[in-house]
Amino acid sequence: MIKLCRVDHRLLHGQVAFSWTNAVQADCILVASDEVVNDEMWKTTLKLGKPAGVKLVIKDIENSVKALNSGVTDKYKLLIVVQTIHDAYRLVQEVPAIKSINLGGAKKQDGYRQISKAIFVGPQDEEDIKAMLDKGVEVEIRQLASESSVPVQSVL
């Protein structure tokens, strides 16, 4: 069961590893990233940062979609973490079970605008967010589980 799908360019760090894992009572974290899956150093770092007793799985987006749709992940309380809004959009397009997206961190880039303390969006991100909203997916901005949720449409 998918408990949370989060966009955070830093992936697995204190807020995700402990705050969010505890808040949603996740027993498995899926890092869905085409970049990380081929980076041994990054994978090792993520493995070191995961909470004890929580399974960590690292897959590219395509194989994440296959796993999520196959039912193999249904036995877990799953926390999915992606690096970019576009990665979240890709998952939403192919995994009907994803009903909401949590925007926790999207890094600043040239031509991007800031819509919250830790979220910067470019034109493609805005298109992807609007497409997710049009599909009926809830998109919220919230760094910490203890913070109030802000609907993304209120700041776009």
> Looking at the 3D structure of the chain, how many domains does it have?
1
CATH number at residue 143: 3.40.35.10
DSSP letter string, 91-144: HHHH-TT--EEEEEEB---TT-EEEETTEEE-HHHHHHHHHHHHTT-EEEE-SS
Which pLDDT value is given to residue 104? 95
Question: Domain span at residue 103?
Answer: 2-154
Q: What is the pLDDT of residues 132-141, one digit of tens each?
A: 999 999 999 9
Provide block-wise average pLDDT over 10 residues at a time, the chain (156 residues). 96 84 96 96 92 96 98 97 98 98 96 96 98 98 94 95
- Is 86 known to be catalytic? no
Q: Which residue is catalytic, options 13, 86, 130, 142?
A: 13
Q: How far is CA 97 from CA 1, 7, 10, 36, 66, in A?
A: 8, 17, 24, 23, 12
Q: How far is CA 99 from CA 19, 30, 109, 146, in A?
A: 21, 16, 28, 21
Quote the pTM value: 0.96
Average pLDDT, the chain: 96
**What angle separates helix 85-94 from helix 123-134, to the nearest 10 degrees?**
30
